[in-house]
Every structure is written in C-alpha cells, then in structure tokens.
Chains A and B, each alone.
Chain A
Amino acid sequence: MVIVLKENPNPQQVNRLKNWLAEMNIDIHTIVGTQSTVLGLVGDTSGVDIELIRALDIVEDVKRIQEPFKRANRKFHPLDTVITIGDTKIGGGNFTLMAGPCSVESREQILSIARDVAANGGHILRGGAFKPRTSPYAFQGLRGLGIELLIEARKETGLKIVTEIMDISQLELFNDVDIIQVGARNMQNFELLKELGKSRKPILLKRGLSSTIQELLMSAEYIMAGGNENVILCERGIRTFETATRNTLDLSCVPVLKETSHLPVVIDPSHAVGVARYVYSMSLAAAAAGSDGLIIEVHNDPAHAMCDGAQSITPEAFGGLASKLSELLPVVGKSIGKTQN
C-alpha cells in the first residue's frame, strides 16, 4: 500500500498516522519527493482501513499494491533510483559503461585492459575473480588475488570495480569492491541475497537464465527487504530454443522493468548473444530501449582469453561503440558521463 501525502502536511498528524501504522507492525518507507511525500507500507496491510486513511486531511491518495514486490516497485518510489559511487552515477538519466574481461587472468592482463577501458570512455571495470563455470575442470578464477588485482587497477585508472560473489563465505573479501555482482546462477540464492541486504554496497543483480521478470524483482526485493536499496538489475539473456546466439537477449524487459520498478537496469549483451560481432548492435538497441547502462566483456587478446573469448570485443571495438553511444544517447534523453544528475 502506498499513501501519497498532500503538500506540506501537518507533521503532528503525519506522526500520528505513522505511529498508528507502526502499532499494527507495518514497516513504513518514507520517500520525500520534490512535490509530495509518499509513505510505502510493507507488511500485512490487510487489516488497514484504506477508507479511513483516504479520509485524512493530510492524505492526497491511497493505493494498494497488487504486485508481490513492494520496495522495488515504482508505485513505492515514483522517481528513478540513482546510485552514486564517488563521481559515478547509475540510473536517472546517466548511462554507465561497465567493461572488462570475463575473468581476471593476470596482473598484466587486467591492468592493460583497465587502461584501455578508461581511455575509451568506460566508467566501471568488470572482471571475474570467482568464476561459476559449467565444467569443474575449467578455470575457476584467481579468487582473492583477482580482487586484489582489480583494486590495483582501480588505483591506477580511477575506474570503479564490479566483480561477482559466489558464496556468502567470500563476503569479507568484497569489502573494498565498489559493486558486488550476483550472477545469473545465484539469482535465487536467497540466503546470499539476505546477507547482501545487510550490506549497503551496490549490488548488480543478474537475471537467472530461466527466471521471469517478476522473479528478478522478487530477488531484488530480498536484498531491499534487508535495507539495502542499492540494487542494479541486469538482463543477460534468457534460455530459449534458439541456438544461433548463446541466449536470447530479452530487451522487452527494459520497458517492463522501467515501468514497474525504479531501479536502474543494465544490459549485458555479451553473455546474451555469445558472439563478439553481435555485441555492437545489441548494445545500441539496449541504449535505445531505455536501459541505464551496459556491462560488456572486453579483452585485449580475445583469441587467447581464458574464458568467454568468443563473445569478448577488443578495446578498439569498445571505443567505437562508446563514441556511437555518445551520439545516440541524447536522442533518448540520456547522457554518457560521470557526473550527470
């Protein structure tokens, strides 16, 4: 349920309303907007007399939220959420470029790619330290050392860093990471989501390969229910009958998520198509569709990458894409850059 208050409501009457709701064990989420204040109610609101609330002089409108996701719901939070990490903003008209290798392979590799990403307009460096691989015999990542190398690359380039967590036990190693990624395979690892809800670090939550949009939002709700509002949703392709591409990029999720949620939406075209030469088209399409950013696999030697080389684009290709995006984005009312509001 959401309660929209009138402009400049009497604070004593607002307090009484909030206390009364709290007496019924309802959590209140207050969003102060430029025009009006919205109270989002979470908990069992079935006993709340909606007509009584509507009759209050301080109340403009009351709506019940039918969807099971509340905190992630745009009715709860009409304005876009903007996540700020230092000078980088994600969401709300800012378009953010995250790029880097599938996995951190060596010091030389990650530093070299980081320089290229920074030089070509990227904002955030991606790179896997813990790798969820289909085969147990495949490269599993540099683990703790990988994170240290990412931190070193950040120090040198000024890029923020995002990397994937696979298990709760690794959480301590992520203290100095800017954005923690939850991979597609962990999207419904509810214990992990609850733990991340206690953190205040931004979480990049990837959609499961066979999860619905609502399931993605419910996973975001898990994190937000713990008090962590900094969730970035990420579409990375879903499994369909099509074999020409690795997955099918569900770009229709962008307008759906933008309508139903206030959280930033980032697209991962690399894992969606699995073919480097298709990444450019789908990146432009994602930007045109209204997403808030891209996360792209970039490698300086794709042929010899330890994983996902086939879908990795070169730093030059990334640079070309970034400059095309800077022409396209103003058309859809967004800007590429670090300190837009």
Chain B
Amino acid sequence: MGGGAKLSDKIKISLENTPVEFPQNAVVACQGVKGAYSQLACEKLFTNPNIIYVNTFDAVFNAVDKGMCGNGILPLENSLCGSVAEVYDLMKKHHFYIVRSVKMKINHALLANHGVISPQIKEIYSHEQALGQCSEFIKKLKNVKIINCVNTASAARAVSESKRNDAAAIANPVCAHLYDLSVISNSIQNNDNNYTRFICISKELQIYPQSNKISLMFTVPHKPGALYGFLEKFASLGVNLTKLESRPISGSDFEFMFYVEMDTSVSSNGIKELMDELENTYETFVFLGNYKEV
C-alpha cells in the first residue's frame, strides 16, 4: 500500500464523502447460489440488492475489484467452527475495504425430494462447515455417505436436480422452497448458538456514521516483543481488541500475517494519528476499514 496521501488524510476524505445512509440498492457479489447463507446476509444488509452469484470466494473479491459489483459478501467466522481460513488468506491478495459486518444465526435442515423418508437416505450433500455443525445428527443416521459441496444451497440444488430418492442435502430451510424440496428435519445443528459473521466489502474506503469496529492486517519483524509492541499501542489508548488471527504467508519460512479487530472508531482520540504511525513503522500495514456490525 502506502504511496500517495497519508492514511489519516484518506480517512478524512472518506468521512466527508461517505453518505449518511448505508445504501438500499447495490450490485452485490455472493459466493454460492440462491439460498446460500451469503444471500441471506446480503438481504439483511440491503433492502433491494441485485445479487451476482459466483462460485469462489476469490471471485467475490475480484468482482468488487474489477467493478462488476459495488459490494461483496464474505463469511469470516463461525461460532462453532472458527475462522474461514480461505477468506483470510485471500485478503492478502486483494485490495478492498470492509464497510459493514453482519452476524447471522445459522439454522440447518435436512432436505430431500418430496415423498422421501429418512430411512431411504444413503447420501448427504452439503458444505464442509455445515456437515461439521450437524455431526451429531449425521452420526445417528445409519450408513450414509457424505458428499462435500462448495456451498449448502448448491447442495440443495444438486439434490433437487438429481430427482433422487436416496439423497438429501443439509442447507437452510429457505432452500426447500427455492429448489422444491421437503424439510425432513429442521434445526439439526449440534448447538443452537450457531452464528456466522459476514463482511460486506467495497473497493472504496467508506466510513458510515456509527462505525465502531476497525480491522487491520499487518506483519511484524521476527524479533522478541514485536507483536506485543504493535498491540501495546492500542492498549495504551484503552482500545478493546475483539479478535486476533494469524495466517502463514505462503512461500515464507513461517512468517505470519496478523489480523486484528477492535472496538473503536477513527473519530476516537489518537486513532487517526496512530494509523499514520503504524503505516510508517511496519512494512505491511493495511487499514481494512471502520464499520458497524448489524
């Protein structure tokens, strides 16, 4: 990054130019197909989105970067399964800003073609994470084969298109209507406290009113106390860090990219100045955005 204007100047310009209201309509890239949790997250953020479905997380970033979509929706972490590693790794490759985040309660159901009953099911299609979140339910079914799909909704679509009476999908119950399937069992997740956080990204830095979360991405040199030195600066400003994630940098000898999330805003005392300082001090330091979680 770097180059050109100081980070604090970019933040000032963004605060002046960002509209007061979060948009109602937007062209939004979502991974998956109709009925995917990304769609449900998208519809929680925008009243009237024009959703462009793509089949990879990489394409969500690309669609925003190349101007096909104004925004993109990506899952970041699940309360049962942890971070979505692939999305964190893609963040290093792309230039983008987080403009909002949203927490969605995840509810899975077992779906099959009409008339199919539970004992007939020999194969279950779903996404890895959903299969993990429903492992106890699956264990109780006898002799079923598990098939991984890129997305829960595409699993539902595949079962519907196959017209098979020995296959089922694990997906959100809305997929039953979308793909003409029946709900065999609802709420089949191991734990009812199942939430996924999604981020909404944009190519431009946009800071809407009431933004109270900041995300950063950075590397620190391999020396004692380096990470502590970085975090200490926030501690001294009394900022609450809500998440720290590290991912190996591929091709390096165990060097890591760190991601932090914190409860603060660019309008808080000393934050803008600290951003300039960090940008000048660290080789890699990326301000990922200041946003609100809904």
Give the interface of A toward B (CB within 8 A).
12-13, 16-17, 20, 23, 49, 51-52, 55-58
Contact = CB atoms under 8 A, between A and B. Distances in A.
B53 A52 contact: no
A13 B53 contact: yes
* Chain B, interface residues (CB within 8 Å), range: 10 to 19
B58 A55 contact: yes
Contacts of B56: 55
Interface of B: 27, 33, 50-56, 58-59, 62-63, 66-69
A17 to B, nearest CB: 7
A57 B151 CA distance: 12
Nearest to A23: B67
A52 B59 contact: yes
Contacts of A58: 53
A17 B53 contact: no
Q: Which 4 A-B pairs have the closest CB atoms?
A: A55-B59, A57-B53, A52-B62, A55-B54
Given A12-B50, A16-B27, A57 B55 contact: yes
Given A16-B27, A52-B62, A57 B67 contact: no
Contacts of B52: 13, 16-17, 56-57
Contacts of A57: 33, 52-55
B191 to A, nearest CB: 31
B55 A20 contact: no
Nearest to A57: B53
Contact of B50 (A16, A51, A52): A16
14 contacts: A12-B50, A13-B53, A16-B27, A16-B52, A17-B52, A49-B62, A49-B66, A52-B54, A52-B59, A52-B68, A55-B56, A56-B53, A57-B54, A57-B55
A20 B63 CA distance: 10
B63 A52 contact: yes
Nearest to B30: A57
Contacts of A12: 50
Contacts of B66: 20, 49, 52
Contacts of B59: 51-52, 55-56
Contacts of B67: 20, 23
B211 to A, nearest CB: 28
A58 B51 CA distance: 12
Contacts of A20: 66-68
Nearest to A24: B67
A7 to B, nearest CB: 12
Contacts of B55: 55-57
Contacts of A17: 52, 68
Nearest to B57: A55
A55 B62 contact: yes
B50 A56 contact: no
Contacts of B54: 52, 55-57
A49 B62 CA distance: 8
Nearest to B66: A49
B53 A16 contact: no
A16 B30 CA distance: 14
A13 B53 CA distance: 8
A23 B66 CA distance: 11
Given A52-B62, A55-B62, 5 more contacts: A13-B53, A17-B68, A49-B66, A52-B68, A57-B52
A55 B54 CA distance: 5
A227 to B, nearest CB: 27
Contact of B62 (A13, A16, A23, A51): A51
A12 B55 CA distance: 17
Nearest to A56: B54
A20 B62 CA distance: 13
Contacts of A55: 54-56, 58-59, 62
Contacts of A23: 67
A55 B52 CA distance: 10
Nearest to B62: A52
A95 to B, nearest CB: 42
Nearest to A15: B50
A324 B67 CA distance: 60
B68 A16 contact: yes
Most buried by A among B55, B59, B62: B59
Contacts of A16: 27, 50, 52, 68-69
